[in-house]
Amino acid sequence: MVTPPPSKSQAHRLLICAALGKKPCVVACDALNDDLVATMNSLNALGADIKYHGGAFVVKPVNLKKGGILDCGESGSTLRFLISVAAALGADATFVGRGKLPCRPNSALCNALGSHGMTFEHTQPGMELPLVCKGTLQGGEFTLPGDLSSQYLTGLLMALPLVSQNSRVQVDGVLTSAPYVGMTLDAVRSAGIEIVQDKNIYYIRGNQCYDLPPGTIVEGDWSSAAFWIVAGVVGKSPVKVCGMNRHSLQGDRHVIEHLRKMGAYIEVADDAIVAMPSQLFGAELDCADTPDLVPILCVAAAAADGTTLFTNVGRLRYKESDRLAAMNKVLAAFGISSSVGDDTLTVHGGTVTAAENVETFGDHRIAMSSAVLATLAHGETKISGAECVAKSYPRFFDDYVSLGGYVENI
């Protein structure tokens, strides 16, 4: 039995809503990770006073400090959300980051903000960070591409209620990772913000005030639960996952649908999910709305009979690592054949062999997926850089051991 940590995606959004309010509040969140620390520290750099203790964030809202340096660590959510929020506040902030984050694209967002009162300066040619943003965001008509990152839209939807003018945001094309925008709308609406959606157009009234209700609690994280659900269906014993909201807006709750399409037997009740050892078979899985699931679903594909085709996965090249190339190399290290296309990943199920050395590429989801895949091999596997799990799930290996896994730090 295992209880995954709180949802990182929901916690980012609720923490920002709390910091943009007018009165102190508490957001219950019973675990912390590196990405949430980045959001907390960045909001503090904007003038909030947020502390974490006793399983909760205690938030005093932003009393604006101009010219702050916002260290986003390796968190794309922190960066893409707070660029727009800092612009709406007129914070004249500088954004910095580490790992692959300085190279991850932001130009579409900056171009949209640049036509509404903002100026941006990249202090290192060819790099997105450090990024200096100056000016105060003005409302009006915005257009964003739907095929790049839902994080751009989330940032705007959180920021535009703060400006004095009304706004209209249109998304061109199909919006990828749409469930994450649903989570954003749910978070801001819980804080009293009115946003009207008409298909791919969002209408935002200006001069609104955030007011997150007391007793707000961050729900369990489906992205983290996915590792244990896959471990249950590919392993020899059932795995019971507790503390999950089966009606969650998190897109990654569809891990159950993906696995059932591969033949998995999974029981879902109000209080728990039980993943049963299953004979899996290859399938075609559309991951346009669930890109974070691809690494761990590759583990299921490796254990399946036949071939699994993942489609609409091209954006995985721009995550904490190039996750398509990374999983191709990880699978090869375990003796599993795979191939990468422009927008696809194909995995051929087979016999998993122990790997002498698996590289994580500094990516938490690659590290956790590799650890689950190692349970299918005879013999020991060495995973280099496994400490990167702290980005989202610091206690991952503690839970791994509690479920019967063996871990030795070298």
**Tens digits of residue pLDDT in 222-281:** 999 999 999 999 999 999 999 999 999 999 999 999 999 999 999 998 879 999 999 999
Q: List the domains of the chain with CATH numbers.
A: 8-204 (3.65.10.10), 222-402 (3.65.10.10)
d(CA 83, CA 97): 13
DSSP conformational letter for 316: G
pLDDT of residue 125 exceeding 90, the answer is no
Q: Which of 292, 322, 343, 399 is catalytic?
A: 292
Would you say residue 150 has pLDDT above 90?
yes
Is-catalytic flag, 292? yes
Secondary element (H or E) of residue 69: strand 69-71
Answer whether residue 147 shows pLDDT above 90.
Answer: no
Q: What is the pLDDT of residue 356?
A: 87
Residue 81 vs residues 76, 77, 172, 354: alpha-carbon distances, Å? 8, 6, 19, 40
Q: Are 228 and 254 in contact (CB under 8 A)?
A: no
| Interval 334-339 mean pLDDT | 98
Model's pTM, two decimal places?
A: 0.95
Mean pLDDT across 154-182:
96
